[in-house]
Structures are given as structure tokens and as C-alpha cells.
A and B are shown apart, each in its own frame.
Chain A
Amino acid sequence: MKENTILEMKNIHKRFPGVKALQGVDFSLNKGEIHALMGENGAGKSTLIKVLTGVYEKNEGEIYVNGIEKPAVIRSPQEAQALGISTVYQEITLCQNLSVAENMFIGRLNHNNGRSWKKMNEAADKILKNLGIPARATQQLSTCSIAIQQMVAIARAVDMDCKVLILDEPTSSLDEGEVEKLFTLMRDLKKRGVGIIFVTHFLEQVYEVCDKITVLRDGKLVGEYEIKDLPRVQLVSKMLGKELDDVSEIKDSSLAYKGTDTDVPVYEAKGLTGTTGIKPFDFEIKKGEVNGFTGLLGSGRSECVRAIFGADRTVGGTVKIDGKETKINRPIDAMKHGIAYLPEDRKGDGIVGDLSVRDNIILALQVKKGFFKPFTKAEANKFADEYIKLLNIKTASADTPIKSLSGGNQQKVILGRWLLTHPEYLILDEPTRGIDVGTKIEIQKLVLKLASEGMSITFISSETDEMLRTCSRLIVMRDGKVVGELKDDELTQNMIMSTIAGGEA
């Protein structure tokens, strides 16, 4: 073990019933290093992290921490924490209804911070100031933005004297400004000698802040690379295990939509007024068209599609489907009209965690079919098998509870659920968030394929290049208002940016 190394994992094996999740993976981390852990969904990133933090027990292999010769025993997150290994998860695991200071010291009050509220708040404020986190100790956590909450979680970890900080997809719900703040904090911690393991799907961010990259694929180690030795294209091909024709191909074959202005829109809304803080908006989509809502996080793009689907209550405006005026008050109304909606919050709004993959796939079609007409077991199995195969869903069986699948595969199940209803109009809100490059491309390709077969699709993504690749028309939102519409030649990164920035620039 080299002097500078604070963490070394050697030949880690982890087996689940029927799956070899990790096969002889090595990983090492130096002091003051930001080390990206990359790989597709199911590559074994999460499993490796969970082995390291004691959530899972490894079957084979050794972990050395802090240069100690003896292998460390990590059987629980507490033991990991005692060794200075802390994790900040994608989903905030703090208590929303407590104050920032309480969250930082919860479970570890001592003489320095536990004697009085005043002392605790002072201690918290000191740490926050030290790390440059713009939050007050007495503030209730729920009043902080997600980014600040994440920083509070990091501050907590840092104060617990953590030497290895694991950031699991910390940026996926942050906007660009917030990401930058987080990066500043990460660089600061790096200077203090903390080793950071950064798990993310955003390639840009890896190149912005990381020093090294370890790539996993199918539970095996592909390699460890210095960031300067591994250009982006190569990284992607290492993650996918194939050359990058696919990626470039999709770029070329974009925008297949050749509709005419005379077509009757599949869906048309005039002055649709929601109750979730968006201004009344007009919207239409034609057969075989792919369009999208873009804008910064919180600009109201999700709220718009939720209003279209009837997920949130609407209070005004007219809706026409195939030219006929109609009312959509609840999701079932939209479903009956052939509209499908893949929600942004996969865990909260999408999956039904304890139910099997099969039940999750048939759910929407079953509801559409009716309460008194349940599918037989044979029918349900047929549907499930069909879509597991079609979308290449990696699951032990159709009986597996969906919550035990990886994020990308969960997303595919939800996508399968809606494709099974054979919608005429499909709304995809962040279908590629938090999933790997390979699946992302699969989904983008699928979108274009479905559109060429006549399905109308509204596509929302935080990644503008993804939208540029798939959409032929973009509706730009700012502060709950539609501020522009881009098509044809206007579909460029620059145009989107300047439209979003608008007159405020």
C-alpha cells in the first residue's frame, strides 16, 4: 500500500442469488483525490459502494483503510463511519423538519455541541462558514434548496472526520449553478486531503472535477485511468464495451419528423391553466412529432406536462384531442384518450416498489381495461415477457419486486408499462435521468423509432444535447411561462441558452 493511499479494495466479489454482482474488482483512492466511479446501470457501482459502506457483506476480497496493514472489517454503515467512510446519497437522507444544525449533529451530541442549543448552533455555523455553505444553523432544513441540503449532508460527514467521502449521484437533481457550488465545495475538501468517490452519469462533470476514473462493466473492473489519458469518447466506449458508432449514428439520424401544418393535432391545448404555479399556456402536438419542453430546473416544464396528463388539477383552458373538445380532469381521462405519462420522479411517482416487475408492467393497461376485467395470469405473463425482452430489461424474473432492479431497468419497466397501453401520445419526463449512457441511447433511439411509427412524443430532459438529438420542436420555459418556441435551424445549444436567458441577459 502506497503512502498516499487511504483506501484500497482488493479482489472484491459479491454474489446475489443468480447474479454475480462483483467479480474481482479492485479500487483504490488517494488522499485529496476526486475519483469518478463510472459504469452503466448494473455495472456494479452501487454494489461496490454498498460493500464499502457495510450495507452488503462481500463474499471475497479485502478492504484496507488508512494504510493499516490488517484488512478492515466493515459490517454496517456505522462501522464504515467509524473508519471515516461517509456517504451522501442522491436522495437526501436528512430530516426535513429539523434545523440545519440539528441535522448536522443528530445522533452524535457531545460536550462540544450538546450542552445547549446555543453551543450547537454556534458549532454548526462555524462549520458552515468554514466550508462556505450558504445556510444558517437555525434554518429548518426543508427551507433549503436540494443543493444546500446536500451540502449540509456533506458538512455533517466532514465534521465526523471523514477521510473517504462517497457522493452517489449528488448532482442529478441540481441545476447548473448549484452543481458549480457543489464542485467548489468538493475542490475545497480535496485540498483538505479528503478522498472523494464521485458516482455520476454526467460525463461533463467528471471531466470538470475529477482526477481519476475507474470504470466498471458487468461487475468487472475495466480499468483505472488518469483523467487526461482518457478522452470522453473512449470513456463512453469503455463503459459500453463497444465502439461508438451508436452514439454518432443517433446524432445523424435525428429529426425524422416531416409533418405538415394542415394536420389536425393529436393533442391541442389553449390557455391551459394549472394550479401549480405555471402561467396559462398553449400547446399542440401532431401525429409522429417529437417535441419537448426545456428550461432550467423549476421553470415549470414538468408542471406543464403534468397539467396535460391531468396529474395536477387544471382550472382553465380548452383541450382538444384529434380536434374534438374534451376534458381531462384525472390521469384516467388522459389514459382513456391514449395519452401516457412517464413521470419525472421515478421512485415517488413511477414504480410500485414491492410489486413484481410483471404487475408493474401491466398496471396501466389493467387500469385502462377496467376493474372487472383482470388479466389472467397467462396474459399478464405474456405481456411481461414481451416487454422484458423488447426493452432488454435485466431482471431475475418477472416475479422480482421492481425495487430490487437497478434504476435504469426500473425506468425501462415503467416505459414498458406505458408502451403496453399503445398510446397515441407519449409524455416522457426525464426518462434518462440517473441512468447509464447505453440505456440513454437505447431510449433516445426508441423515441425516434416510435415517432417514425406514428406516435407523438413529448420529451423532457435536463440535458439539452439529448433534446436536440430527439426533438424537432422545443418549447422554452422560464419561471412558469412559455418564453419561446424553437424549430429547424433554431435548434442549437446557443439558441436555447439565449432564449432561456431571454431579455434578462
Chain B
Amino acid sequence: MKLRKMTFNKQLLIPLIALLALAIFNLLADPSFYKITLGYNSAGNPVLSGYLITILDYGSELAILAIGMTLVTAATGGQDISVGAAIAIAGSVILRVLCGTETSPAHMKAPVIVAFLIAVVVAMLFGAFNGTLVSVFNIPPMVATLILYTAGRSIAAWINNNQLPIVNEKSFHVYGGFIPGIPIPTPFFIAVICAGLTALMLKFTTLGLYTQAVGINEKSSRLNGINPTFIKFLTFVILGVCVAVAALIKVSRLSTINYSVIAKDIEMDAILAVALGGNALSGGKFNMPASILGAYVIQFLTTTLYKCNVSSAALSAYKAVVVIVLVVLSAPTVKDKLSKFWNKVKPATSKEKEAA
């Protein structure tokens, strides 16, 4: 049991160290980064604002996607790059249901929950499409999801006849904004619910064991009675659900949609979150809490960069630096050297303890 705890902590260490580095950087660069102010929004409800709140807000949608991306990565050893496009589709579906054929109706045509559930189904179907290509036809995930990555935003536009419907009711802002009376952004609560549901799913099903087994050795998994095709398929469908949730948050923030920009490049951040969580992008073992923490750290980085007046066009270049560091650190040769170094340091400290 002791050992298990140790490995658990060790993996969480990677995103935690990254977080610490960012936190210290901000503290030195400009301590006002940590300023949080309580104000009132136009509806007169209390809201917190500040960079940390932004991180909590936008990091949450990323965290939700990271959950699904972690499972896909573990089972298939590949990543879904169509997440952003799929969010555009799911968001478009939500608006189509809420607005009907009008572009700016005074009232919503259907309850949000109905719109959301329909979006969930649609996103699951697109997940199933990706999943089928990967699991049944054995197409590498990146290649398979390239199809939807390319076509997704056109499909999203087509769903609303290339119109940009607007939801005028204030109550729709709740999901991407604030619940009246509660100053913490709603996405955070949604992320907590998603993380909780995931924890339950991993506790009360064998999904965790199966995805890891399939990711590590598909042939062996099959001989132990697991259906690898189905497991891989399932992870894409679960990612579909995550996509729909993220889409609801996204369109709720804007009350409308911009097909070409919404959730642009978010798949890269989600993949980065999985990697920053110390999970091998080649599949196999995974650590869900580390991925979720990784998502917030990525958002922390993005927000820090914005704060430093890095233009959004240049953002990717800075993130690339993080990718380089991550990839180098997780390369087997470096890992080996690090562990050797660690072993040299560790006996020394334990000897010191003995001496003391």
C-alpha cells in the first residue's frame, strides 16, 4: 500500500512542479497577478474576478476535455484532434435547438437540458464515428480524427444554415458564467461534477483496468476476455460526452457561436494537459487526477502569457516551449538519467538520516 501511494504522488509531482514554477514566476514578475476582487455584474450578482478566477473558469472546460482525452490516450495510444471541431458541432446543435430557425428569438424554444442532451447524443455519435475508425478499421487516432478536424466546423455551420443564432435569455449565461448569488464561476462546479462522475465510473466499473490493459497489450487483453475494439470505441464515446459539456459552457459564455473560432486549438491544450499529467501519450497507464491538474496548469500558463501581453497569435510558440520540456523530460533516456541521479541522491540522504 505504501508503495502505491508513493507512485501516486510521484506522478502528481510533475504538474505540481510546473504549477509551482509558474506561481513563482508570477509572484516575481507582478504580484498583482494574485489579486482577486469581488464585484457585481450587470445583473447585480456578486462575482469574483482576477487572473486566478480566469484560470479556474477556463481551466475547467479544459479539465473536462482532459478526462476524455486521458481515456482515449490510455486505450488507443493516440489522441483525438477533432475535439475543437466537435465542440463547434455540439455548440451549434445546442443553439439550433434553443433558437429553432430564428436567429435571435426573444425566448428559448426548448429547455436548456433538452438542448444539452441532444448535443450529448450528437457528440457521442461523432465520438462513435471516430471510435469506429480507430477500433474497427485500425486507423491511427490522429489520422482518423483528422477527418472530423477538417470537416467539423463546416458541419457546425451547416447545422444552423451558416447563421449565427443568439440566445437572448439571461438564464442561459449561467453555465458559462455565474450562478446568481455564488461568486465562483459555474464551469468550476461543472468540472467538479464531471470529475466526481469520472471517479465513480472508475471506482464502480473496470474501465480503468481495461483501458490500461488494452493500451499496454491489446493481444493479451483479448485473450483475457476483454473486447479491445469495444473499449477503444467506448473511450471515444466518453470523450464525446465531455465534448458536449464543454460545448455547453462555450456557447453559454458567448450566447452565440463563431464557427471558425470557437474552441480553436483546444484539443492541443487537452492533449498537453494529459502529457503534463505525466501520462504517456503512447498509451497504457494513466493517472486521472494528474491529467485534471495538468489542465489547470496549462490554463495557468495561458493566462500568464496573456498577462505578459503575449498576443494570441504568438501563444502557440510559447506553449511549444512547454511541449519541448515535457517531451524531453519524459523521454526514456532522460528518465533513466534522472532516476539514476535520484538513486544517487536518495541513499545519501538516508545515510545522513542514519548518522543523525
Contacts and interface: CB of A to CB of B under 8 A. Distances in A.
Interface stretch (A136-144, A150-158, A251-259, A362-370): A362-370
Given A351-B217, A372-B204, A374-B206, A399 B227 contact: no
A352 B213 contact: yes
B151 interface: no
A297 interface: no
A355 interface: yes
B220 A352 contact: yes
A332 interface: yes
B224 interface: yes
A350 B216 contact: no
29 contacts: A57-B340, A311-B222, A311-B223, A330-B225, A331-B224, A331-B225, A341-B223, A348-B217, A348-B219, A348-B220, A350-B220, A351-B217, A352-B216, A352-B221, A353-B217, A354-B216, A354-B285, A355-B216, A364-B224, A364-B225, A366-B209, A367-B224, A371-B206, A371-B210, A374-B205, A397-B3, A399-B3, A399-B4, A417-B224
Contacts of A367: 206, 210, 224-226
A355 B212 contact: yes
Interface string A406-424: 0000000000010000000
B220 A372 contact: no
Interface residues of B, number: 27
B312 interface: no
A84 interface: no
Interface of B: 3-4, 7, 203-207, 209-210, 212-213, 216-217, 219-227, 284-285, 340, 343
Interface in A363-411: 363-364, 366-368, 370-374, 397, 399
B225 A353 contact: no
A480 interface: no
Closest A-B pairs by Cβ, 4 of them? A332-B225, A367-B225, A399-B3, A374-B206
Nearest to B226: A367
Contact of B213 (A363, A397, A399): A363
Q: How large is the interface on A (under 10, 10 to 19, 20 to 34, 35 or more residues)?
A: 20 to 34
A433 to B, nearest CB: 16
A370 B227 CA distance: 12
A438 B340 CA distance: 34
Q: Is the interface of B mostly helix, strand, loop or mixed?
A: helix
Contacts of B4: 399
Interface string A334-362: 01000001010000111111110001000
Contacts of B204: 372, 374
Nearest to B7: A399
A354 B284 contact: yes
A350 B224 CA distance: 9
A28 B204 CA distance: 57
Given A352-B216, A371-B206, A372-B206, 9 more contacts: A311-B223, A331-B222, A351-B220, A352-B212, A354-B216, A359-B209, A363-B213, A374-B205, A374-B206
A330 B216 CA distance: 20
Nearest to B222: A331
B3 A331 contact: no
A16 to B, nearest CB: 10
Contacts of A330: 225, 227
A203 to B, nearest CB: 30
Nearest to A335: B225
Contacts of A309: 223
Contacts of A370: 206
Nearest to A17: B343
Please indicate which of the listed interface residues B205, B212, B216, B223 has the most CB atoms of chain A within 10 Å of its own CB.
B223
A370 B209 CA distance: 12
Contacts of A355: 209, 212-213, 216, 285
Given A350-B220, A352-B217, A354-B285, A372 B205 contact: yes
Contacts of B206: 366-367, 370-374
A372 to B, nearest CB: 6
A352 B226 CA distance: 12
Contacts of B227: 330, 332
Contacts of A349: 219-220, 223
A99 to B, nearest CB: 26
Interface string A180-212: 000000000000000000000000000000000
A348 B217 CA distance: 7
A23 to B, nearest CB: 18
Contacts of B205: 371-372, 374
